[in-house]
Amino acid sequence: MIENHMTIMLVVLPMLAAPLIALLPSKNLSWGLAILTATLQLYLAVNVLLDVQGGTAIHYELGGWAPPWGISYRLDSLNGLMALLVCLINFVCLLYAKASIEAEIPGRKLGLFYATWQLVVTGLLGIVLTGDIFNLFVFLEISSLSTYALIGMGRQRQALMAAFQYLLSGTLGASFFLIGVGLCYAATGTLNMQDLASQIGQSDQPMTLYSGFAFLFTGLLLKAAIYPLHAWLPNVYQFSPQAVSALLSATSTKVALYVVVRCLLDVFGVEFSLSRLFADLLLLAGSLAILFGSLRAIQQTDLKRLLAYSSIAQLGYSVVGLGLLTVTGLSGALVHLFNHGITKAALFMGAGMLALGPGTTLLTRLAGGTHRPWLLLLFLTGGLSLIGFPGTVGFISKWMLALAAIEQGHWWLLVVILLGSLLAILYVWKFIETLYFVPQNPPETSTGPVPGRGMWLACGLLCLAIVYFGLDTRFTLGVAMDAARQLLGVHP
Amino acid sequence: MSLLSIDHLYYWVIVILLMLGMYSMIAKPNLLKKLAGLSIFQSAIFLFYISLGKQTGGTAPIIAPGYDTYANPLPHVLMLTAIVVGVATVALGYALIIRIRDAYDSMEEDQIREQDDQA
């Protein structure tokens, strides 16, 4: 009985937990319920992903109403992988959040903080699992609205402006998405993604569909912060509370990019949407993102801002993989979403631990952090993964993308990918050098709060994951290849 | 020219409202006016959806003798959801503006930027 409802439980659990968490009297109880929910979700996510391995899909009809009238959830390799990423990051970030957030947010607000956090997770998982495109919009707004609230809790006052700017551009993006959905509905009369996919081929109103397509993707690319629509991202990542930066960097843009992949390849289909022109545009935008993001990252003087620009660059790799339109390229892009997610979360957690004492992530203020030698290991693992060093997850995805570029004979793309890695060496070296090899002017007597055990555990888990999934790629890459084959309609 | 015909009049109204809203979001330095622009932008989308479901001479979709054209209720229902989302967005926006005004003593984007640059 309960097995049949595992898919929906992923979304319902945090939604039910949110109000309970807000009502619980103590911050420890709130956190306890949050981590309990996260553990259950992680268990469910692993289970459903194992169920869909090898190309099957789980269908779930909400309330027993058959699509296209009711809302249906559909889980296959693609969103199984994304659901696992969200659940994994949610679990690890909550482990980390306890000590980290208590240093940043007054105690009476903690219950509300964890409740809002659960709503973000509800929204993200809803986006990932739903098979109804309007339902997707609603979940997009649930996760975005709660995200704005979380960002606004940052310690510095710039966090408020960052949240407000994100609210404006995020809502603009979601509204564009909504216009696109409306135009598609006008042309086809359905909102169910699979039904939409079959109707689009037969529609006699191609102009309406083309404009719907344009609105839909402008909105989505804005939410996913794809260059040149990335302007909201650096401030948001820099000024959010530490644990929130880690959660957002690993999930929100990745989930938006998942929707891009789903809509492009599943809903609109390769023939309709990816005329060579649009695919070339994606290649161009991705390459520019890689170069621009990396160059800007090198210039930054704040650790979290540097990591934010590096995120823009790394998202570019996934866009490039999508634009290549081959199984190798697409599976590289998908596995990169997962791999970069865990890498960036680990690095933002490291930044947060350094910031505990001085309360800032300005590189000059953090210089000479030698009193925390274990953190060097974290920054090295994460940094090497950003560069794409063999033995880390970053290598796997970049290797796949490079292979795909060679397969297609896009030599200039290979140059861009390698150049991106070279630039990554520069910015990774920049922060490792400042943090560990520049002597600090007034030697700091570390008086600030000490990182809690949960924080170390979370960082350790992510570092292990970075190395483990970098050596044993059967699981992640296997699922990504399954998903890529399904999306492109290639049979093994 | 069919684009300018009276049938498309409401589309033109919607497009003009969309542009007005977006202009005010981008060009006005005052945060309240930006949020008002966002509200106008969203309302234009509501109108767009509502116009999608409209049938000339259509009634509410209740089966009754003597009526055979009905308006499509689905886009209208969707907009109920979107209106709720819109209200939440604007409310959150105002809450943020209140806190921004407390922190910076200003609601003008350029003045806030100046204060941030000095810091």
B81 inside 8 A of chain A by CB: yes
Task: Please identify which residue in the block is written with the tokens 């953190």.
Answer: A375
- Residue A20 carries which DSSP code? H
| B41 pLDDT higher than 90 | yes
Q: Residue A8: its pLDDT value, please?
A: 87
Q: Hey, are the CB atoms on B42 and A172 less than 8 Å from each other?
A: no
The reply to whether omega before A228 is within 30° of 0 (cis) is yes
Contacts with B97 from chain A: Cβ below 8 Å: 164
CA dist., res. A21 & res. A13, Å (int): 12
Return the residue matching tokens 């210039």: A299
Q: What pLDDT is attached to residue A200?
A: 83
Query: Of A342, A162, A150, whose CA–CA distance to A238 is shortest?
Result: A162
Among candidates A163, A168, A182 on the partner chain, residue whose Cβ is nearest the Cβ of B38: A168
Q: How near does any CA of chain B get to the CA of A182, in Å?
A: 6
Looking at residue A457, its amino acid is: L
Buried b (16+ CB within 10 A) or exposed e, B41-60: bbbbbbbbbbebbeeeeeee
A contact test, residue of B49, B90, B96 with most A CBs within 10 A: B96
Please determine, for residue A351, whether its predicted confidence score (pLDDT) is greater than 60: yes
Residues of A within an 8 Å Cβ radius of B = 134, 137-138, 141, 145, 148-149, 152, 157-158, 160-161, 163-164, 167-168, 171-172, 175, 178-179, 182, 185-186
SS3 call for A243: helix
Q: Do B45 and A161 touch (CB under 8 A)?
A: no
Which residues on chain A are in Cβ contact (under 8 Å) with B34? 168
Question: Residue A286 burial by CB count (10 A; 0-12/13-18/19+): exposed, middle or buried?
Answer: buried
Assess whether pLDDT exceeds 60 at residue A444.
no
pLDDT tens for A394-416 read 999 999 999 999 988 888 999 99
Contact across the interface for A148 and B92, Cβ inside 8 Å: yes
Instruction: Out of B78, B93, B103, name the one closest to residue A167 (CB).
Output: B93
For residue B25, the chain A residue with the least C-alpha distance is A168
Tell me whether B75 touches chain A (CB under 8 Å): yes
Say if the Cβ atoms of B99 and A152 lie within 8 Å.
yes
Contacts of B31 in chain A (CB under 8 A): 164
Give me the percent of chain A exceeding a pLDDT of 70.
Answer: 95
CA dist A146 and A137 (Å) reads 14
Q: Any CB–CB contact under 8 A between B71 and chain A?
A: no
**Which chain B residues contact residue A179 at CB under 8 A?**
45, 48
Q: Which of B89, B94, B104, B111 to mutate to test the interface with A (most CBs of A within 10 A)?
A: B89
Rg of chain B over Cα atoms, rounded to whole angstroms, equals: 20
Query: Which of chain A's residues have a Cβ under 8 Å away from the Cβ of B114?
Result: none
Residue A323 or A443, more confident:
A323
pLDDT tens per residue across span A308-327: 999 999 999 999 998 888 88
The contacts found for B76-81 with CB under 8 angstroms, 24 or more apart, are: B76/B49, B76/B50, B78/A134, B78/B49, B79/B46, B79/B49, B79/B50, B81/A134, B81/A138
Question: Looking at CA atoms only, how far is residue A63 from chain B in angstroms?
Answer: 18
Predicted confidence band at B1 (pLDDT cuts at 50, 70, 90)?
very low
For tokens 């309406």, name the residue.
A208
* More confident: A346 or A271: A346
- The residue with tokens 């339109």 is A325
Q: What is the CATH number of the domain that holds B29?
A: 1.10.287.3510
Structure confidence at residue A227 (pLDDT): 84
What six digits make up the tokens of B59?
Answer: 């009634």
pLDDT digits 0-9 by tens, A189-244: 888 888 888 888 787 778 888 888 889 999 999 999 888 888 899 999 999 999 99
For residue B81, the chain A residues in CB contact (below 8 A) are 134, 138
Does residue B66 sit in helix, strand or coil? Answer: coil
Determine whether the interchain pair B38/A172 forms a contact, defined as Cβ–Cβ distance below 8 Å.
yes
Average per-residue pLDDT for chain A: 87
The rounded distance, in Å, linking the Cα atoms of A265 and A262 is: 6
Question: For chain B, how many structural domains are there in total?
Answer: 1
A153 closest CA partner among A197, A112, A207: A112
Question: Which residues span the domain enclosing B23?
Answer: 2-61+69-118
Do B103 and A175 lie within an 8 Å CB cutoff?
no
Res. A492: pLDDT tops 70? no
Residue to substitute from A157, A191, A216, A236, interface B, most B β-carbons within 10 A? A157
Instruction: Quote the pLDDT of residue A279.
Output: 83
- Residues in chain B with CB shorter than 8 Å from the CB of A152 are 96, 99
How far is residue A102 from each of residues A87, A97, A412, A454, measured CA to CA in Å?
22, 8, 48, 12
Residue extents of the structural domains in chain A? 288-492
Whether A481 shows a pLDDT value over 70: the answer reads: yes
Contact with chain A for residue B14, Cβ under 8 A = no
Check CB contact of B93 with chain A, cutoff 8 Å. Answer: yes
Beta bridge partners of A58: A75
Token code pair at residue B47: 């109108």
Residues of A in contact with B22 (CB under 8 A): 172
Q: What's the Cα-to-Cα distance from A317 to each of A80, A382, A405, rounded to whole Å?
A: 21, 17, 11
The verdict on a CB contact (< 8 Å) between A164 and B31 is yes
Instruction: Please state, in angstroms and as integers, the Cα–Cα distance from residue B105 to each residue in A168, A464, B109, following that order.
Output: 21, 47, 11
pLDDT at A447: 57
Its pTM stands at: 0.92
For residue A152, what is the nearest residue in chain B, using CA coordinates?
B96
Flag whether pLDDT at A422 surpasses 60: yes
What is the reported pLDDT for A474? 84
Q: What pLDDT score does A274 carry?
A: 61
- Are B99 and A178 inside 8 Å of each other by CB? no
List of chain B residues whose C-beta atoms are within 8 Å of the C-beta of residue A138: 81, 85
Which helix (H) or strand (E) segment holds residue A73: the answer is strand A72-75
B85 interfaces chain A, CB cutoff of 8 Å: yes
At A255 the pLDDT is 94
| Predicted local confidence at residue A3, as pLDDT | 63
DSSP A84: H
The amino acid that residue A318 corresponds to is: S
At A259, the pLDDT band (50, 70, 90 cuts) reads very high
Q: In the predicted model, what is the mean pLDDT of residues A149-165? A: 91
Reported as a single tens digit per residue, the pLDDT across A275-288 is 677 888 889 999 99
pLDDT in tens, B72-96: 888 888 999 999 999 999 999 999 9
Contact A164 B38 (CB under 8 A): no
| pLDDT at site A1 | 47
Give CA–CA dist A110/A103, Å, rounded. 11
